[in-house]
Amino acid sequence: MSHTPLIRLAHTSQMGEDELDGIRQLLDEAFDGDFAEDDFEHALGGMHALAYGPGGELLAHGSVVQRRVLHAGRALRCGYVEAVAVRPGVRRQGLGGAVMAELEQVIARAYVLGALSASDEGAALYESRGWTVWGGRIGALSPDGPVRLAEEEGTTYVWVPKGGALPDAAEGLWFDWRDGDVL
């Protein structure tokens, strides 16, 4: 990329319908139409990092929303990263890293830890930024009680702000429940 993208950090409440529609279109394009309405809903209600090109076109997006996660008998405030996407045609140019840098600053200022569920394609980005695969059990607190999410083990990454300590992997992470994909 021959120019530095303009990065805008904004809460969902600060965005108009056109900007939200633009994010939705980017996500549909970046995920080849495989980004469900529940997935989009999960990305709302928190802070968004948006990378714009010189002509004002939206090139990349990611958001961080608050979730509660139980660990070793404590409810932790977790910044959960959602909907990280880069428009096809401008990938591998640092836009994903620029978006993640903004989201990590939000996590560092507001949360005990960060977490995300990575696709195979996205894992290298997160690992390069110091995110680590959670080595313990993953579960959720469903309306019917705790449910282990074994399929999320090995794809759930955590990040702790500088000065923080990584939670003990001998204890599971139990996330709050939500519709659609829980993680």
Write down the domain spans for the chain.
6-176
DSSP E strand boundaries for the chain: 6-11, 47-52, 58-71, 74-86, 113-117, 132-133, 138-142, 145-148, 156-159, 173-176
Q: N- to C-terminal Cα distance for the chain?
A: 32
Region 119-144 average pLDDT: 95
CB atoms within 10 A of CB 159: 23
Read off the pTM: 0.95
What percentage of the chain exceeds 70 in pLDDT? 98
Report whether pLDDT(3) > 80.
Answer: no
> What is the predicted pLDDT for the residue at 164?
86
Provide φ and ψ at 93, rounded to 5°.
-125, 15
Region 134-158 average pLDDT: 95
Whether 105 contacts 64, CB under 8 Å = no
Please determine, looking at this structure, whether the domain spanning 6-176 carries the CATH number 3.40.630.30. Answer: yes
pLDDT digits (tens, 9 = 90+) for 22-55: 999 999 999 998 999 999 999 999 999 999 999 9
